[in-house]
Structure 1
Amino acid sequence: MLILTAEDIKKVFNMKDAIEADKEAFEIYSKGQSEVPLRTNIKVEKYNGSSLFMPGYVKQIDSLGIKIVSVFPENIKKGLPAVPAKMILLDGKTGDVCSIMDGTYLTKLRTGASAGAATDVLARKDSKIGALIGTGGQAFCQLEALLVTRDLDVVKVYSRNREKVLNFVKNANAKLSSYNTKIVAAETSDEAIEDADVITVVTTSTKPVFDGRKIKKGAHINGVGSFMEHMQEIDEHTIINCDKAFVDSKEAVLNESGDFIIPIKKGLISKEKVNGELGEVIGKVLKGRETDEEITLFKSVGIAVQDVVTAYKIYKRALEKGIGQNIEL
C-alpha cells in the first residue's frame, strides 16, 4: 500500500495534469461509465462540522475509492485545516486498498481543475481579465487553474477580509510569477467582476457574494464553493439570466447546491435551466459556448469520479517515479 503526502503529490502531478484528469472524469461520468452515489453527509453539530463520504467506481481504469472529507470551520482557531481529508484508493481487480493519500490537497487540486476544465471548454479564448472571489483554502488552486487555461493580463481578487486578500495577493504573485499575470486586490466584489471575462467564486457563503447585473456580456462564471442546499454564493439574477448553465452532475447539483435549489423552490427557475453536464460538452454530445456574447455558467459541487480518476493517475505516476512510502498492514 502506497502512502502519498501532499508534497509527494506535488512532485508527480501538476495543475495541467489535474485539468486533463478532470476532463476525462467528467466525460466518463456523463457517459454513465462510472458508479457514483450521492455523497453521505454526516453532521457533527457539537463542533459545527460535517463529514462527507464520497465513494466511486470507474470500470475502465479498474479503480474505485472513497474520499472522506470533513468541513470543520472551527479548526482554523486550532491551527488545523478547516477541510481535512483522506483519499483511499482500491484496486478494482482485487478490491484491496492500494493507496492512501492526502485528500486535502487532492481536493484542492481536482476542485481547482474542475473550474479550469470548465474555463478551458466554455470561456472565450481571448479572455484577458479574471476575477476570483474567495481567499480560503481552495482559492490558490482555483487561481492557478485560471492561469493555466487562459493567458490573462490581470486577475482581481476579493473577499470580505481585506488582510487575507492582501496576503493572498502577495503570496500568489510570488508563487505564480511565471504566468506573467498581474494579481491585484479588489476593494469590492463589484470592482472584482467589472469587465471580467472569467469569474471564479469559491466561498461557502449563504448569501450571494456578487451582483450578477454587473457581469459583462460574454463572461464565463465558475461557481465551485457552495456545496450544500443552504449555501448560495451565486445570485439569482445570474442563475436566471445566464445564457447557458452546465454542471458537473445534474443529480448532485440539483440535490445539493443552494445556488439552484433556492431559486427552484422560489419558482424562479425550473430544473430545465441546467443545459447539461460539462462532460456532455467535453464529449461533444452538447454544444458549449456558441457566441462571444453568451454568458456561460459552470456549477460544481464535486463528485467522486474526479477523486477516483485523479487519485488513480497520481498513484500510477508515483509508482513510475518511485515516490511515496510503501507499507504493509
Structure 2
Amino acid sequence: MLILNKNDIKKVFNMKDAIDAAKEALLIFSRGKSVVPLRTNIDIPKYEGQSLFMPAYVEGLNSVGIKIVSVFPENAKKGIPSVPAKMILLDGKTGDVICIMDGTFLTQLRTGATSGAATDILANKDSRQGALFGTGGQAPSQLEAMLTVRNLDVVKVFATNREKTQGFVEKMNNELKRFSTKIIAAESADDAVKDADIITTATTSKNPVFNGKLIKKGAHINAVGSYTPVMQELDEYTIQNADKIYMDSKDAVLSESGDFIIPIEKGLIDDSRINGELGEVISKKIEGRTFGDEITLYKTVGIAVMDVVTAYKIYEKALETKTGTFIDL
C-alpha cells in the first residue's frame, strides 16, 4: 500500500494536471461511466462539525475510492486543519486498498481544479480581473486555478476579517508571483465584484456574500461553498438572472446546496433554470458560452468521481516517479 502526504502529491502533480483530471472526471460522470452515490453527511453538533463519506467507482480506470472529509471550523483555533480528510484508493480488479493519501490537500486541489476547468471552458478569453471571496483552506487553490487558465491583471480578494485578508494577499502575492498578477485586498464586497470578469466564492456563509446586481455583463461565476441546504453564497437575483447555469452534478446540487434549494423552495425558480452539467459541455452534448456578454454560473458541491479520478492520476505519477512510502498491513 502506498502512502502519499501533501508534499508527495505536490512533487508529482500540479494545478494544470488537476484541471485536466477534473475535466476527465466531469466527462466520465456526465456520460454515466461511473457509480457515484450521494455522499453521506453526518452532523456532529457537539463540536459544530460534520463528517462526509464520499464513495465512487470509475470503471474505465478500474478504480474505487472513498474520501472521508470532515468540516470542523473550531479546529482553526487549535492550529489544525478545519477540513481534515483522507482519501482511500482501491484496486477495482481486486477490491484491495492500494493507496491512502492526504485528502485535505486532494480536496483543495481538485475543488480548485473544477473551478479552473469551468473557468477555462466558460469564461471569456480576454478576462482581465478576478474576484475571490474567502481566505480559508480552499482559497489558495481557487486562486491558483483561476490564474492557471486566464491571464489576469488583478484579483481582488474579500473576506469579513480584514487582517486575515491582508495576510492572505501578501502570502499569495509571494507564492503565486510566477503569474505576474496583482493580488489585492478589496475595500468591500461591492469593490471586489463590480468590475470582475471572473468571480469565485469559497466560503461557509449562510448569507449571500455579494450583490448580484453589480455583476458585469460577460462575467463568469464559480460558486464553491454552499454545500448544505442552509448555506447560501449567492443571492437570488444572481440565480434568477444568470444567462446560463451549469453544475458538476445536477442531482447533488439540488439535494445539497442552499444556493438553489432556498430559491426553489420560495418558488422563485425551478430546475428549468439549469442548462446542464459541465461534463455535458465538455462532451459537446450542450452548448457553453455562446456570446461574450452572457453571465455564466458554475455551481459545484463536489462529487466523489473527481476525487477518485484525481487520486488515481496522482497514484500513477507517484508510482512512475517512485514517490511516497510503501507499507505492508
TM-score range, shorter chain: over 0.9
* Structure 2: stretches of 5+ with no match in the other structure: none
| Partner in structure 2 of residue 4 of structure 1 | 4
Q: Please state if 1:302 is matched with 2:302.
A: yes
| Cα deviation digits, residues 242-296 of structure 1 (max 9, x gap) | 0000000011000000000000000000011111000000111010000001000
| Cα deviation digits, residues 95-151 of structure 1 (max 9, x gap) | 000000000000000000010000000000000000001000100000000000000
Q: How many residues align?
A: 329
Distance 1:226 1:241 in 2: 19
Matches within 5 A, 1:27-42: 27-42=27-42
| Partner in structure 2 of residue 106 of structure 1 | 106
| Partner in structure 2 of residue 161 of structure 1 | 161
| Partner in structure 1 of residue 286 of structure 2 | 286
Q: TM-score, normalised by structure 2?
A: 1.00
Distance 1:43 1:293 in 2: 42
Instruction: Give 1:194 shift.
Output: 1.6
| Partner in structure 1 of residue 91 of structure 2 | 91
* Structure 1: stretches of 5+ with no match in the other structure: none
Q: What amino acid maps onto 1:141 in structure 2?
A: S
- The SS at the match of 2:147 is helix
Instruction: State the superposition RMSD in angstroms.
Output: 0.4
Q: TM-score, normalised by structure 1?
A: 1.00
Distance 2:7 2:328 in 1: 21
| Partner in structure 2 of residue 176 of structure 1 | 176
Range with bigger deviation, 240-249 or 187-196:
187-196
Matches within 5 A, 1:144-159: 144-159=144-159
| Cα deviation digits, residues 152-176 of structure 1 (max 9, x gap) | 0000000000011100000000010
- The SS at the match of 1:98 is strand
Instruction: Give 1:225 shift.
Output: 1.4
- The SS at the match of 1:231 is coil
| Partner in structure 1 of residue 120 of structure 2 | 120
Matches within 5 A, 1:55-74: 55-74=55-74
| Partner in structure 1 of residue 245 of structure 2 | 245
- The SS at the match of 2:316 is helix
| Partner in structure 1 of residue 274 of structure 2 | 274
Distance 1:106 1:321 in 2: 19
Distance 2:220 2:254 in 1: 20
- The SS at the match of 1:57 is strand
Distance 1:271 1:204 in 2: 24
| Cα deviation digits, residues 56-93 of structure 1 (max 9, x gap) | 00000000100000001111111111000000000001
Distance 2:152 2:58 in 1: 35
Q: What amino acid maps onto 2:313 in structure 1?
A: K
Q: What amino acid maps onto 1:48 in structure 2?
A: E
Matches within 5 A, 1:222-237: 222-237=222-237
Distance 1:75 1:184 in 2: 27
Q: What amino acid maps onto 1:228 in structure 2?
A: T
Distance 1:221 1:234 in 2: 10
Distance 1:325 1:55 in 2: 24
| Cα deviation digits, residues 164-197 of structure 1 (max 9, x gap) | 1100000000010010100011011100012110
Q: Please state if 1:17 is matched with 2:17.
A: yes
Structure 1 segments of 4+ aligned residues over 2 angstroms from their partners: none
Q: What amino acid maps onto 1:36 in structure 2?
A: V
Distance 1:287 1:144 in 2: 26
Distance 1:230 1:208 in 2: 11
Distance 1:196 1:247 in 2: 21
Distance 2:176 2:273 in 1: 36
Q: Identity, % of aligned pairs? A: 67
